[in-house]
Amino acid sequence: EGLVLAANRAARALLPVEAEGLVGRPLPAALADEDAAALAAALERMDDADRQTLVLRGRETALQVELGQWEQG
């Protein structure tokens, strides 16, 4: 499981946590429970798909997330 290594101002504005609560933690820890569950389900489905799209709730606007296979391994 990956950790958030850095968060720019745009990411901090979109996600419902402050930067200090985001960096060094897994992304699902920074999301609302139902968004974390939706992300986990989408990641599970990546075994059978090339791409997944989902919408997460941000601070002021919805955040469309597109997941794809990593080309480097």
> pLDDT per residue over 29-70, tens digit each?
888 888 889 989 998 888 888 898 989 887 777 888 888 887
- What are residue 28's phi and psi, to 5 degrees? -60, -25
Read off the pLDDT band of 12 (50, 70, 90): confident
Taking CB atoms within 8 Å and a gap of at least 24, the contacts of 60-66 are: 60/13, 61/14, 63/14, 63/15, 65/39
* Better pLDDT: 42 or 20: 42
What pTM does this model have?
A: 0.72
